[in-house]
Structure 1
Amino acid sequence: MTATIRAVLWDFGGVILSSPFEAFRRYEAERGLPADFIRGINSRNPDSNAWARFERGETDAAGFGELFLAESTALGHPLHGREILPLISGELRPRMVAALKQVKARFKVACLTNNMPLGHGPGMALRADRAAAIAQVMTLFDAVVESSKIGIRKPEPAFYQAACDLLGIQPTEAVFLDDLGINLKPAAAMGMRTIKVGDPDVALQELGRHIGMEFP
């Protein structure tokens, strides 16, 4: 028998916010870098590279910058990490925020985010109005699990279990939305129903089928 859904778990960047990959690609085009060069660096040695260490709080922004420089130099295009940090924080997706509010009325909701020690968008000063809007969205969640605070990150299974423990649910009672397949696989293996977010409209249609809701 399929477990009843009690909670919906949301990635932040790439789900509630637009994907940083869009900003990466614009930067690469402007600088004459190979397409998806930055994303390719981040996918190499995914458990121990500069990105992973920063998201687990094992290094600071300065250390990340130098580590990323070494990794990009080894691949033929020196790029300091300080150039990348301002690209991370995307724009709020109003339709996703509206859906989150709608879901919250009937289900527990949690944010599962791989982030940096300084929070969303390190290395850049967010406009006061934008920072306030993001902070307001974060208050909607019943629980927020941040890699930089707990020292583990997606796709480590313990990260997902931490979210379930905070909500008092079993993994089989959750739906999880993320824009990266690598983050969804362990969640699915634990019994969560998973949704890969590309087109937000398509993702919300799939979510609606799982939880019996329609999103205008």
Structure 2
Amino acid sequence: MAIEAVIWDFGGVFTTSPFEAFRRYEAERGLPADFIRRVNSTDPDVNAWARFERSEIDAARFDTLFLEEATRLGHPVRGADVLPLLYGDLRPRVLAALLACKARFKVGCITNNVTTGHGAGMASTAEKAAAVAQIMSHFAVVIESSKAGVRKPDPRIYLMMCEALNVRPENCVYLDDLGINCKPAAALGMTAIKVSTEDQALAELAAATGLAF
């Protein structure tokens, strides 16, 4: 089927992965590698992280619940310490790819985010927030989990985007840095690209769209 739309995740796609910041934090504090990811992946539909991304709890409650969950897994880590780690550095080449796609296809963004920081990208400073806002302005549609009340990998959020863009899933490319979020997109018929590195993602996007980046 012909590609009509390219749908993007934000964090870990337009920015460097927060997992890098998680690993630095863990190393600095003598925590096991990938401990924060382990907390986030335990009871992934109902844990503090999932509830925060659906705006079912506020930042103060997230701080408390995340600490409880981390402590049960052996290491007390406050949620308030994790939130500043979420925003990475911007990737100019990926932004250039977005602009190239926008010239030919419909473009949308589905982001799991929380009501903290500055705006949809959860930027840590007003300066970074301005850069995020500029990127977001290029999308025809932006769906934020914290506003929609539904989060990836729930298939409903992908279908919401398809309806908003007036496209069928099989006519879409979807990019995300998490495999768990790519799986439902692929199951719906989208061409799913798991973003592991910038070079890899752009190469796969070029192959899927016929564009050069």
TM-score normalised by length of structure 1: 0.95
Aligned partners of 1:87 and 1:121 also within 8 Å: no
Q: Extract structure 1 runs of 4+ deviating beyond 6 A.
A: none
Letter of the aligned partner of 1:69 in structure 2? L
Match of 1:50 among 48, 54, 61: 48
**How far apart in 2 are the matches of 1:141 and 1:170?**
18
Between the aligned residues of both structures, percent identity stands at: 60
Letter of the aligned partner of 2:188 in structure 1? M
**How far apart in 1 are the matches of 2:61 and 2:89?**
26
Aligned partners of 1:51 and 1:64 also within 8 Å: yes
Q: Give the Å deviation of 1:91.
A: 1.1
Q: Which residue does 1:68 correspond to in 2? A: 66
Q: Which residue does 2:109 correspond to in 1? A: 111
Letter of the aligned partner of 1:116 in structure 2? V
**For structure 1, which segment, 23-32 or 129-138, has the greater mean C-alpha deviation from structure 2 after superposition?**
129-138
**How far apart in 2 are the matches of 1:89 and 1:23?**
9
Aligned partners of 1:55 and 1:148 also within 8 Å: yes
Residue by residue over 1:119-143, the C-alpha shift from the partner in whole angstroms, topping out at 9 and shown as x without a partner, is: 4465x741x3222111111101110
Residue by residue over 1:19-73, the C-alpha shift from the partner in whole angstroms, topping out at 9 and shown as x without a partner, is: 1000000000011111000011101111001100000010000010001000000
C-alpha RMSD of the superposition: 1.1
Q: Which residue does 1:141 correspond to in 2? A: 139
Gaps of 5+ in 2: none
Q: Which residue does 2:23 correspond to in 1? A: 25
**How far apart in 2 are the matches of 1:121 and 1:192?**
24
**How far apart in 1 are the matches of 2:12 and 2:183?**
17
Check 1:121–1:79 CA distance in 2 against 1; reply closer, same or farther (3 A cut). farther
**How far apart in 1 are the matches of 2:38 and 2:58?**
22
Residue by residue over 1:56-106, the C-alpha shift from the partner in whole angstroms, topping out at 9 and shown as x without a partner, is: 010000010001000000011011100000001111111101111111100
